[in-house]
Every structure is written in structure tokens, then in C-alpha cells.
Amino acid sequence: MYTEIKISMQGDLKIGNSSSGLLASLLSMEVTQMVLLKDSSTKEVIREQYEQLWSELLIRDEEEAELILKKIEYELLPTREKILRPFKNLTWEKTLSPFKTHLTWIIPLSVISFLLLAYVLFIYISLWIEDY
């Protein structure tokens, strides 16, 4: 089922044949120009939400609060820094750390050895059969 949604430049919303309903109320947002928070008319409402979140954050565990703040800080980063952040502290030592265990080396070497042995046996058996 497809519904036609029309949004005019004045911010009017029309869904299907009617402009009422729950979906219309959820989607009815005025198209406005981006304004800095300090110049916004809703600055006080956002400040109240911030104060409410801050009071809720005060009753949290310290580690949990730090994790929440790190997530918020990450969301405030520009897109380029969000993309590059996981690679910022990447070093060769961290990259090669999985290969420090013996098992990580034994498994690939065993697979390579098995494939090499299978190839040699295949060639040997082929040549042996060809002689008959």
C-alpha cells in the first residue's frame, strides 16, 4: 500500500486525500532554515530538556555517565571526524595483536600446508596414472 505525501513550501502537509490523522501529525514539520541554537526561539525549551537530562545523569553510575557523554560527544563531531575516529589510534601493534597467539598462526599454516600437500599428491597421482 502506497500513500501519497505532499509537503508544500509553506509547511502544509497532505497525506493521501486527507490532511488529518496520526501520520499527518507525526510528519507535519515546517520546513525552516537552519538556525544556530543561540539564535533559536526554542533555546529555553532545549535548555530545560538539557537540565532534565543532567539531573537524570547525576543519578547514574560514573562509568555509565562517562559512556553516555562520550556517545554525545561523538554525535557532535563533524562527519569527517566520525569516519576517521576509529582509525585515529590505530597502530601496527594493535593491528597485529591477534597474531601474537600460536593458534592464530597454526591454523592458517595448517590450511596452506594441507592445500600444498593435496596439490602435490594430485600431480603425483596424475603422473602415476598417466604412466599406465
Rg (CA), the chain: 31
d(CA 103, CA 107): 6
**Among residues 110, 111, 107, which one has the least CA distance to residue 99?**
107
Q: Where are the domains of the chain?
A: 1-32, 41-91, 98-131
More confident call, 98 vs 55: 55
Q: Report the run of H or E that residue 46 belongs to, with start and end.
A: helix 43-58
Per residue in 75-112, pLDDT (tens digit) is: 888 888 888 877 777 888 888 887 788 888 898 899 99
Report yes or no on whether pTM surpasses 0.85: no
DSSP-based three-state secondary structure for 94:
helix
